[in-house]
Every structure is written in C-alpha cells, then in structure tokens.
C-alpha cells in the first residue's frame, strides 16, 4: 500500500525560523473550532486528535496523529478559521511556527512546498476513499475504509502487522457507528481473515 508522507520538517530548520516547543497536558486544546489559523504545528511527543461535535453533542474524530506528524497547515493557505478542534490525548510536546515565519521558510526552501502539496494531495485522495466507505450502510465496509486510511499514514506494508492504536470507542467516533456495532464487525472481520485481534489489539 502506498503511504502518505505526512509532513515532518527538520526541527532545527523550524527553530531557525523562530519556532518554539510547547508542552500540553492531556485533554488540553491546541486550537479550537473557529480559532484563527496562526501556526504550523508538528508533534515531537504525544498524540493529538482532530475532532468536532454535531448539534446533538456527538463527537466525530477526523484523525489521531502522533510523533513527527503535522497538522493545521492547510488552513494557513486558505486564511480560514479552523473547522475542527485539536486536542491532546496525552501529555504532548508540539513545535509551533508562526504563520508568517512558515511562509518565509517555504519561500526560501521551495522543496518543502512541493512536499507539502504532495502530502495534502495524497491525504485528500485517501480521505475521499474513506468517505466513500463511510457512505456505506455495511459496518465492515466502513471499518475497512477507515483501517486502510489509517494504515496509509505509516510505512508498514505488511499483512495484519499494523497496529491500529485506537480504542473501540475512538473507532466508533471515526466511523459514526455504535461501539457495540464496531465490536461485532471487528469480530466478523477477524473470522473472515481481514484482520487479527490479539490481546485487545487490532492488527491490520
């Protein structure tokens, strides 16, 4: 499977353009929906979920990101407010680079802009594929689309060795399914040889 080379800019380069590292507590927001987009963010430690809530207060998780992954950069180009929240799932360290410094950096190092375009394009491609799966009424097809999407962010190209490091509840929030439905569908997928469940871990 082809993977997304999610942006991971050399930290020394980020610092040379005025970036700073900030520590966040578990459940602390990095930014909230409707905040202005002011920074490029890159995770050095921890995990961050991108989410929002519908009118009934139900959470929908768009993605969960970890070490050496970036987020929020697309909004810097659009000059739009964030349509989502970014919340730390655990104690995290995140480098942030101010917007103007970010544009100065990619102007001086145009190869970064090309890499970012490739990353964003691949992300759009895989997200569209996932959205096709989410439109299905078949829970297994929804889960398969999500698992393919998550695996696309990583380098492992193997059969049932990629660890899906999300809880059943997080998977439910990512797919819009009930957690009970997720549990049943995962067991059925295991029976059909699509994945392995081992010590509550999901290997895909």
115, part of any domain: no
pLDDT confidence of residue 182: 95
69, part of any domain: yes
Round to whole Å and give the CA distance between 93 and 34: 23
Residues 97 and 125 in one domain: no
pLDDT confidence of residue 6: 63
Residues 132 and 63 in one domain: no
pLDDT tens, residue by residue, 65-99:
889 899 989 899 988 899 999 999 999 999 999 99
Q: Is the dihedral of CA 159, 184, 89, 64 positive or negative?
A: positive
113, part of any domain: no
Q: Which neighbouring-strand residues pair with 81? A: 36
pLDDT confidence of residue 4: 42
Domain residue limits at 86: 11-108
| Terminal-residue alpha carbon distance, the chain | 12
pLDDT tens, residue by residue, 133-181:
878 889 999 999 888 877 876 655 667 788 888 889 989 988 889 999 9
Residues 63 and 147 in one domain: no
CATH number at residue 150: 1.10.10.10
Is 3's pLDDT higher than 60?
no
Residue 1: which pLDDT band, with cuts at 50, 70 and 90?
very low
Calculate the alpha carbon distances from 53 to 50, 77, 171 in Å. 11, 24, 15
Residues 103 and 139 in one domain: no
Q: Which neighbouring-strand residues pair with 70? A: 42
The domain total for the chain is 2
pLDDT confidence of residue 153: 66
Is 5's pLDDT higher than 60?
no
Q: In this predicted model, which residue has the larger pLDDT, 126 or 112?
A: 112
CATH number at residue 102: 2.60.120.10
Print burial letters for 36-50: b (CB count within 10 Å at least 16), e (below 16): ebbbbbbbeebbbbb
* Mean pLDDT for the chain overall: 89
Residues 128 and 101 in one domain: no
Given 44, 75, 108, the domain boundary residue is 108
């Amino acid at each position: 499977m082809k993977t997304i080379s999610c942006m991971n800019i050399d930290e020394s380069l980020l610092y040379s353009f005025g970036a700073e590292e900030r520590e966040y507590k578990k459940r602390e927001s990095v930014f909230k929906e409707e905040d202005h987009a002011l920074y490029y963010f890159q995770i050095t430690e921890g995990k961050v979920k991108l989410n929002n809530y519908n009118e009934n207060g139900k959470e929908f998780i768009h993605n969960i990101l970890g070490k050496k992954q970036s987020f929020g950069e697309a909004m810097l180009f659009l000059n739009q407010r964030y349509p989502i929240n970014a919340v730390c799932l655990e104690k995290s360290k995140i480098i942030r680079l101010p917007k103007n410094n970010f544009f100065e950096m990619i102007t001086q190092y145009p190869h970064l802009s090309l890499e970012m375009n490739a990353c964003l394009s691949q992300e759009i491609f895989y997200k569209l594929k996932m959205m096709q799966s989410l439109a299905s009424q078949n829970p297994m097809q929804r889960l398969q689309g999500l698992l393919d999407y998550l695996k696309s962010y990583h380098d492992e190209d193997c059969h049932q060795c990629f660890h899906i490091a999300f809880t059943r509840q997080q998977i439910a929030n990512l797919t819009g399914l009930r957690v009970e439905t997720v549990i049943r569908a995962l067991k059925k997928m295991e029976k059909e040889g699509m994945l392995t469940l081992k010590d509550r871990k999901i290997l895909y």
